[in-house]
Amino acid sequence: MRPVIVTPTAMSVSAKKLATELGGICVLRSSKTFKPKWDDLVINWGCSKEPNFVYNAVNSLNSFKGVAMATNKLETFKRFKSNFIPHPEWITDYNTAKNWKGLIVSRSILNGFGGNGITLSESDALSNNQLLYVKYVKKRHEYRVHVFNGFVIDVTWKRKKKGVGHDSKIRNYKNGWVYCRDNLTEPNDLRLTALRAISSLGLNFGAVDIIWNEKQNKCYALEVNTAPGLVGTTLNFYVKAIKDGYY
């Protein structure tokens, strides 16, 4: 069985690393010349649209429909809500959001990443042309939980990078936060929340971003990454999970 990693663009370093470690190949979703073999294992790495080539859907990981829902923040929250998965309160109606108290995370882009399209403000400073309004939930820690076929294969948490200014509200790489494993303590509901989040979107694998509110001692799912960055230990875990499960 040959692993075929399907990507939306040629820029995915992680997809290339995964293909190399598995002895497989990377293929663009838009390719019109690629001809898959009948027993290829097609691994969808972040593509929300069906590929131009025909493949055997039986030997595949992550449906394109599932990834489309995961990459859209509104659709993700809808799935979380319908499956009773803890997540921040949200609304698309500006008139409702402006009456909320406290900080609100508003989004002008539903499929952005790395903080693109995000604005953090008080309700009286909200813009009325946003696509999604989310109540800000205070967090003590933020985690990324990698799930593969119903099992948690890796857990990391965000810590401040030394020598960089830090925004503790929006914790991304640009604001000086990186994923680590040292001194990690898992909340009791962390893994179950991650497993349920992946299941709710009908995915085989993904990296779930989860925050933990210390006062409530409760986890909240934020989003699911279907093309997570893979380096070192995390890459090895994905390679092992795929090999153990498929060949």
Mean pLDDT, to the nearest integer, of 6-12?
88
Burial of 74 (0-12, 13-18, 19+ CB in 10 A): middle
Residue 195 clears pLDDT 90, i.e. is over it:
yes
Sheet arrangement for strand 3-7: 25-28, 3-7, 41-44, 60-61
Measure the CA dihedral 33/38/40/45, to 10°.
60
Residue found by looking up tokens 């498929």 in the block: 246
pLDDT of residue 176: 62
pLDDT interval class at 181 (50, 70, 90): confident
Calculate the CA dihedral of residues 58, 59, 63, 64 and round it to 10 degrees: -110
pLDDT band at 8 (very low <50, low <70, confident <90, very high): very high
pLDDT per residue over 113-172, tens digit each?
767 889 999 988 899 999 999 999 999 999 999 999 999 999 999 887 665 555 555 555
Q: Where are the domains of the chain?
A: 3-62, 75-87+138-225, 90-135
**pLDDT, tens digit (0-9, with 9 covering 90-100), for 137-151:** 999 999 999 999 999
Taking residues 48-73, what's their average pLDDT?
Answer: 94
**Cα 144 from chain centroid (whole Å):** 8
Q: Domain spanning 75-87+138-225: which superfamily? A: ATP-grasp fold, B domain (3.30.470.20)
3-state class of 155 per DSSP? strand
With cut-offs at 50, 70 and 90, classify the pLDDT of residue 112.
confident
Other beta carbons within 10 Å of 207: 25
| Cα gap 147→174, rounded to integer Å | 25
Coil, helix or strand for 242?
A: helix
pLDDT band at 179 (very low <50, low <70, confident <90, very high): confident
Integer Cα distance of 136 and 96 in angstroms: 15
